[in-house]
Structure 1
Amino acid sequence: MAAPVKILSLGSANGSIRNLFTKIKTIDDKHGKFDFALCVGDFFGKLKEKEDMEDAGDDEISLLLEGKLPAPIECYIMQGENPLPDAVIQKFAKTGGELCKDVFLMSKSGLVTTASGLRIACLGGTFEPSIFSSSESAPGFASPFFSEQTVEKLLSNSLTSTSSAKQKQNYKSLASIQSSSSSSQFVDVLVTNVWPACVTGFSSVPLPSLPSSKIGAAPLDDLCRRLRPRYHFAAGAPDGSKETQPVFWEREPFVWDDDNGNGRASRFISLGVFNGPVPVNGKKQRWFYAFSIEPGSASSTAQKPKNASKNPFTETLPRKRPFQEVQSSQGENYIFGDVRQPVKRTRIENIDGKPPPGYKCRRCDSTEHFINNCPERQKPPEGYVCRICNIAGHLVRDCPSSSQNAVGDTGGRKPKEGYVCRACGNEGGHYLDDCPVVTQRGGGGGGKRGPPREIGPEECWFCLSNPNLAKHLITSIGEECYVTLPKGQIIPTQSAAPENRASSRTSVPGGGHVLIVPITHYPTFNTIPSDLAPPIIEETEKYKLSLRNFYAKHACHPVFFEISRLGARGAKGVHAHIQCVPLPQSLKTEEVEEAFVSQARSQGILFEQDAEEALRLGAGGASYFKVELPDGKKMVHLINPGVPFGIQFGRQVLTDLLGFPSRVDWKTCTLDEEEDRADAEAFKAGFGPFVTWTKNPPQ
């Protein structure tokens, strides 16, 4: 049985950092010693204007970041309902969370495992329905809101126990990766700024009077069902309004009684504001809460709390409609009158059809339209000629002569010439999804499949928390990324190598085809929040440089390629990565470029004239395919959502270029585990001297 951890949880400090630290020390001296403090809600408060900061003389945020405002005990803080100051965001990006000694900023949607094994999940920001469903990427600390992708990221990472610089030390070896993996999504503590919508159900504890009847955010209900926290702390107003003051409210505990719940009890506590205003009735809201908790899941034999209520997240609360509401919905139906059907809201627009407050088109900075409707995006570049009809004035996706709407032999979209269905071998008649063979197997077909099934980290091929991940192929682990050999690499090795070894055309130990993968789960590189991206991009570039130098030792140079593609629901289960393949230096850059251009031309793929401009558009949420040639030149193709793009395009080009056309399908190139291990060990031994910049070079 793990020793209990004593925690002091605190409400929003709203920038009164010095006073809060003084109060923490007083409470700790009187009631401690606490293992750490959990600061919920707004720690820094509203952003200050530059003039206000100068008037303040000694800005407390600057003093904190410089280490001149020491914390009395270890403190974990989060983002509340306001954007974080730029200096804080920059410090987080640089250190991974450690703002100064004993003060750690948790990710906006992340999981921290403390030294005692306590699992703390954090969801920062506030809820705005239009922004929640419309964000093109997960908002970072510079935004006061969280989105659907923010919640999904927290859920996808709930099996991974790192979130701060301090915790990333867990990923310094394969053994520690395996030991840090968890078989459960359940957490000990969840901290959010907003309330779940149904948390008040079945509770007999009086609620404060509110200006509106709305309480909480519905998306948090599913989050609670998935994480099942033993303690859940919130610091925002019950109705999520900035006009309403946060209140102290402790709900009766409730129990998860299903087969997976193990009888664990959950408690929800809302905290008031530190040094908050005195209400009209003269009663200040309680702003701190001390408790002890044993790390790990509760035992199924744990005694049910005597005051436990029904679980509001698993049981349906009967709701009676007020007479006024019923009356307002009635009309001229023969029973009820003129019943008005609910108007279906557009997914992202406000009532006036414009983007929500705070939205800015990343293409032209306009606040009047979304990026998909940006006039600049619709214009073809100067000199552009449509490759379908050879007429200028429109992009290929807008070509009136396009055959993308043509119907195939099974009623779905007609494939391009040369496409062969992998299920039945039909050429040019239908895509795989529309194949009758797939339909008969229960695979959907005909474009009538349901919504894509959500894929968690336990199924993601690249998440370190996946127990089925081929960890024996990993060759290097850094602070933000890791390098691994893929299954079925392009370069033939071991039993797949040609009898004449010289015909393999490369001499890199272990083959040399590797992937650079961010440790944290992001669907694509352009979905990484801007405030979290710099250290990931920096380490990716370091790995690319190390690979260049390593390959050069073996008379080879690299080609890097990446597919950044989001589906309608954010490409759940896809994990960002960059592929790197060594080519013999006898293959000049011009030959490699021509190979990509030639293959692209034959498949109707167009590389953009300005690669950097195309990548800037990709940063706005567009899908793209990118190649970096041996000399560093970039080639970019923007993937139109309505036009198919073969996921193996990059591999197809390189297998043809190297003379291994039969290796285009990785599944036919896999080796047994013993041979894979031998390749990984050979690569690590050679690659090790070239990654001295990381604290964890391959051994």
Structure 2
Amino acid sequence: MTSKILVFGSPALDLRNALAKADQINSSAAGPFDALFLLGQVFRSDTSDELIELVLSKKLTPSLPTYFYSSKYIPPQVKKAIASNGQLSENLICLQSSGTIVTKKGAKISAISSYASSFELEKLKVQNDVDVLITDHFPLHIDLLSDSAKGKEAILSTKKDMKIGEVATILQPRYHFSPGPVFWEREPFKNEGFLNNAPAGERYTRFISIAPFANSEKQKWFYAFNITVPFQPTDPPANTTPNPYIEGSKIRAAEARNDPSSQADEEEDLIWGTGIKRKNEDDNQERQFKRKEKPKRGQNQPRPTRQPVDPSTCFFCLANPQLAQHFIVSIGEDSYVTTAKGPLPKSNSNSLDCPAHVIIIPLSHGPTISSIEDEESRIKTRKEMTKYKERISEMLAKHGYSAIALEISRYNGIHFHVQIIPVPSDKLDKVKPEFEKASQINGYKLEEREDSSEIADAEEDFFKVYLPGGKVLYILLSNDMRFDLQFGRKVLANVLGFPDRFDWKKCVQTEQEEVNDAERFKTLFSEFDFTLE
């Protein structure tokens, strides 16, 4: 089916005439249209009381469904009126800071404001098959690789937003509209696959900036187009360019490597929620854990050091008297297992009746497995942690879940550990594409390898995702690399459909809930727990 969409530039101070013009176009030979989208500011601080009253009294009602998003200013009276469902009249609807609608003909259209919260941004990122994206700012890097933008100061100087760029990279809309000072139709650019049901390299985005409604410069202020759904792969449009967002992520990564201020490495305890941050100390300070003095791939600069953390104050160590023992579900000879504080899944979100988000922690205090000096202890620790991972995987498989294990190994870390998060088997095929997509956005080089001791105990720093079937997704963490410690959790939050739970600190439970979940996991795991054999 084909949807007919109409888009207007910012109608600020002229909403009445904009809607009248829309009605005229809708009733012309070009219409009727399925929807009208108003870009930019619909209201301003100097919007007249008369116009606000017309809107609130429902006397200003367009003839076709008309949508706008919350911008920098919404009059208090209007904000109150849209608080419940965003509807001002039968055909005038505010999508708040973000929202998604589907037209009668099936076109899926998402809108996002740069004023949207982190939760709204993450929630929008999990939308599938978005045909049209509407935003209030240009996405960062949209002018890269574009010949049509060269020499156009109005385009080059327009404010560009990184958050909107991230959303656009993930959603890969077929059309992306944003208000601008002038009309600009960028060359189409190629997306890199990873989208559900879209073959790699066959989905293209057209970015279009629309000038303000009825502007004095006579710049084009509206755009009408047809879009056919569902999406079908097409031949490359004329003048197609590579993806500007991917190119921009490479530039940002290079800038971060060359910026000393971005190399400060902070780590926060991810399990116990102490809120204590341990920052790097002077590079001349003696390292607690020594390593072999041989050059490593990606380690051309001196490694920053951190102030040593004693086992008695480490919240991963059983020697710590403040250890919250109610999280512990199994203790082996060389490692132990705990449930996670602030788990990603909710207790009631799966058939397990508990989050089943657990952490495998070595008893030896050290930032990596290879930092354990005694070779026999190092081998035994890795072997037992692997056995725990396999048994937990077997337990989850019995209940229809796959175990996704996340591992960060850094010599500048505090206490090595492996997190396991259950993913329903019917969502397993989304895990690898989501990590590939997120790695591109962040400028990380993601490799796929076979699971082996070569990377399990390597002395280089790495981030690793264990997938079922013996495959591993691997990112080398070089000295000059800024890596998001919550990266794995954020990706899996999107896979699981819990974008609002990407931050563990917002998922903390009561102690009784933690106790209940730990006891439930112990019950589920009892027949697989080798320490009970």
TM range (shorter): 0.5 to 0.7
Equivalent in 357, 362, 381 of residue 435 of structure 1: 362
Instruction: Show CA shifts across 1:317-374 (max 9, x none).
Output: 998xxxxxx9xxxxxxxxxxxx995434999xxxxxxxxxxxxxxxxxxxxxxxx9xx
Equivalent in 63, 74, 93 of residue 104 of structure 1: 93
- Asked if the contact 1:433–1:444 (Cα under 8 Å) also holds between the matched residues in 2, the reply is no
Q: Distance in 2 between matches of 1:312 and 1:454?
A: 35
2:238 matched to 1:311?
no
Aligned residue in 2 for 1:153: 123
Unmatched runs of 5 consecutive residues or more in structure 1:
126-144, 159-184, 238-245, 320-325, 327-338, 348-371, 373-402, 461-566, 578-620, 627-644, 653-662, 671-699
Aligned residue in 1 for 2:178: 234
Q: Which amino acid aligns with 2:230?
A: G
3-state SS, counterpart of residue 225 of structure 1: helix
2:213 matched to 1:274?
yes
Q: Which amino acid aligns with 2:329?
A: R
Task: Select the structure with the greater relative contact order (CA < 8 A; seq sep ≥ 6).
Answer: 2
- Asked if the contact 1:13–1:42 (Cα under 8 Å) also holds between the matched residues in 2, the reply is yes
Equivalent in 296, 299, 305 of residue 230 of structure 2: 296
Instruction: Show CA shifts across 1:502-548 (max 9, x none).
Output: xxxxxxxxxxxxxxxxxxxxxxxxxxxxxxxxxxxxxxxxxxxxxxx
CA 1:417–1:448 in 2, change beyond 3 Å: closer, same or farther?
Answer: closer
Deviation at 1:427, TM superposition (A): 12
3-state SS, counterpart of residue 148 of structure 2: coil
Deviation at 1:71, TM superposition (A): 0.9
- Asked if the contact 1:118–1:188 (Cα under 8 Å) also holds between the matched residues in 2, the reply is yes
Q: Distance in 1 between matches of 2:188 and 2:331?
A: 56
Q: Distance in 1 between matches of 2:512 and 2:42?
A: 47
CA 1:153–1:115 in 2, change beyond 3 Å: closer, same or farther?
Answer: same
Q: Which amino acid aligns with 2:69?
A: M
Comparing 261-270 with 426-435, which one deviates more in the overlay?
426-435
- Asked if the contact 1:415–1:430 (Cα under 8 Å) also holds between the matched residues in 2, the reply is no
3-state SS, counterpart of residue 247 of structure 1: coil
3-state SS, counterpart of residue 329 of structure 2: coil
Aligned residue in 2 for 1:7: 5
Q: Distance in 2 between matches of 1:256 and 1:428?
A: 44
Deviation at 1:89, TM superposition (A): 2.6
Deviation at 1:84, TM superposition (A): 2.0
Aligned residue in 1 for 2:36: 37
Aligned residue in 2 for 1:364: none
Deviation at 1:151, TM superposition (A): 1.7
Instruction: Show CA shifts across 1:566-596 (max 9, x none).
Output: x99799469599xxxxxxxxxxxxxxxxxxx
Aligned residue in 2 for 1:194: 137
Q: Distance in 2 between matches of 1:576 and 1:231?
A: 24
TM-score using structure 1 length: 0.42
CA 1:625–1:223 in 2, change beyond 3 Å: closer, same or farther?
Answer: closer
3-state SS, counterpart of residue 99 of structure 2: strand
Deviation at 1:648, TM superposition (A): 2.8
Q: Distance in 2 between matches of 1:453 and 1:647?
A: 18
- Asked if the contact 2:141–2:248 (Cα under 8 Å) also holds between the matched residues in 1, the reply is no
Q: Distance in 2 between matches of 1:420 and 1:150?
A: 31
- Asked if the contact 1:408–1:430 (Cα under 8 Å) also holds between the matched residues in 2, the reply is no
TM-score using structure 2 length: 0.54
Q: Distance in 1 between matches of 2:223 and 2:422?
A: 36
- Asked if the contact 2:143–2:156 (Cα under 8 Å) also holds between the matched residues in 1, the reply is no
Q: Which amino acid aligns with 2:51?
A: E
Alignment of 1:247-286 (within 5 A): 247-256=182-191, 258=193, 260=195, 261-262=198-199, 263-276=202-215, 278=216, 283-286=217-220
Aligned residue in 1 for 2:281: none
Q: Distance in 2 between matches of 1:123 and 1:409?
A: 40
- Asked if the contact 1:407–1:414 (Cα under 8 Å) also holds between the matched residues in 2, the reply is no
Q: Distance in 2 between matches of 1:123 and 1:197?
A: 14
2:331 matched to 1:424?
yes
Higher strand share: 2
Q: Which amino acid aligns with 1:43?
A: V
Alignment of 1:242-641 (within 5 A): 246-256=181-191, 258=193, 260=195, 261-262=198-199, 263-276=202-215, 278=216, 283-297=217-231, 299-300=232-233, 302-314=234-246, 342-344=260-262, 406-407=313-314, 413=320, 416=323, 419=326, 421-424=328-331, 432-435=359-362, 439-440=385-386, 441=389, 444=407, 447-448=415-416, 572=493
Equivalent in 59, 76, 79 of residue 86 of structure 1: 76
Q: Which amino acid aligns with 1:86?
A: P
Unmatched runs of 5 consecutive residues or more in structure 2:
266-274, 276-309, 339-358, 364-380, 390-404, 409-413, 429-487, 526-533
CA 1:89–1:427 in 2, change beyond 3 Å: closer, same or farther?
Answer: farther
Paired residues in the alignment total: 348
Q: Which amino acid aligns with 2:361?
A: D
Aligned residue in 2 for 1:26: 24
Deviation at 1:451, TM superposition (A): 10
Deviation at 1:623, TM superposition (A): 7.2
Q: Distance in 2 between matches of 1:409 and 1:342?
A: 30
- Asked if the contact 1:234–1:271 (Cα under 8 Å) also holds between the matched residues in 2, the reply is yes
Deviation at 1:72, TM superposition (A): 2.6
Deviation at 1:455, TM superposition (A): 9.1
Instruction: Show CA shifts across 1:200-250 (max 9, x none).
Output: 222221453149757522233332221110000001x4xxxxxxxx22110
Q: Distance in 1 between matches of 2:512 and 2:313?
A: 19
CA 1:666–1:410 in 2, change beyond 3 Å: closer, same or farther?
Answer: closer
- Asked if the contact 1:433–1:447 (Cα under 8 Å) also holds between the matched residues in 2, the reply is no
Q: Distance in 2 between matches of 1:340 and 1:293?
A: 44
Q: Which amino acid aligns with 1:35?
A: D
- Asked if the contact 1:415–1:429 (Cα under 8 Å) also holds between the matched residues in 2, the reply is no
Identity %: 23
3-state SS, counterpart of residue 37 of structure 1: strand
Deviation at 1:194, TM superposition (A): 0.9
Aligned residue in 2 for 1:69: 60
Q: Distance in 2 between matches of 1:274 and 1:11?
A: 5
3-state SS, counterpart of residue 205 of structure 1: helix
Q: Distance in 2 between matches of 1:453 and 1:202?
A: 39
- Asked if the contact 1:203–1:252 (Cα under 8 Å) also holds between the matched residues in 2, the reply is yes
Deviation at 1:196, TM superposition (A): 1.3
Deviation at 1:426, TM superposition (A): 7.5
Deviation at 1:291, TM superposition (A): 0.6
Q: Distance in 2 between matches of 1:285 and 1:452?
A: 55
3-state SS, counterpart of residue 187 of structure 1: coil
Q: Distance in 1 between matches of 2:249 and 2:508?
A: 46
Instruction: Show CA shifts across 1:394-452 (max 9, x none).
Output: xxxxxxxxx99634795885554754732435799985542356744466486446999
Q: Which amino acid aligns with 1:100?
A: S
3-state SS, counterpart of residue 310 of structure 1: coil
Q: Distance in 2 between matches of 1:202 and 1:112?
A: 31
Aligned residue in 2 for 1:648: 514
CA 1:274–1:312 in 2, change beyond 3 Å: closer, same or farther?
Answer: same
Deviation at 1:189, TM superposition (A): 0.2
